[in-house]
Amino acid sequence: MLIAVTEKVEIPDEPGEWMRFRALSWGQRQQAREIAKTRAMDEAKRTMDLMRLMAGEDADINAAVDEARAKRAAKVDPDEDESEPDVLGQYDPATVVDYGIAEWSYTERKTKPSDQLSPETVEWAARQIMERNTRPPSKSQDTGTS
């Protein structure tokens, strides 16, 4: 399928404002995924460096990581309903928005959309774009029993 589909969507809480979204190509999705992955790895490295600094060089970092994981796991409610995975979780929102906004009702674009929009609007638009770029699982992929 060629990437040319666009869809006009009204922006919530901004009467009369809209954006037209386009589907992302495979390469654009890969780029957004790689940027998000690199950012996550950099954040993990900074966290490890900070833990090492705070604990001292002789500290057992693995024990500190295990403790942090245990605390995070304790916060998860086992009875909580498992919802669908976050469609934006593995992609960089700014990259998604920069590639996925075809046009908008705002003033003329002077830079990348992610540089002109508020953080809330970038996240909203990125979610809209990814929801339109994510196919639901087909029935043949459904492994559950009825």
Which 3 state secondary structure label does DSSP give 137?
A: coil
Edge-to-edge order in the sheet of strand 101-104: 6-10, 18-22, 101-104
Q: Residues 12-30: pLDDT tens digits? A: 988 999 999 998 999 999 9
Measured between alpha carbons, how far is 70 from 94 in angstroms, rounded to an integer? 32
Measured between alpha carbons, how far is 100 from 91 in angstroms, rounded to an integer? 12
Of the pLDDT bands very low, low, confident and very high (cuts 50, 70, 90), residue 51 is confident
Q: Quick count: other Cβ atoms within 10 Å of Cβ 82?
A: 5
Number of helices (H) and strands (E) in the chain: give both, helices first.
Answer: 5, 3
Average pLDDT over residues 85-97: 85
Q: Which residue has the higher pLDDT, 80 or 66?
A: 66
Asked whether the beta carbons of 47 and 26 are under 8 A apart, the reply is no
Domain boundaries, the chain: 6-76+85-133
pLDDT, position 82: 54
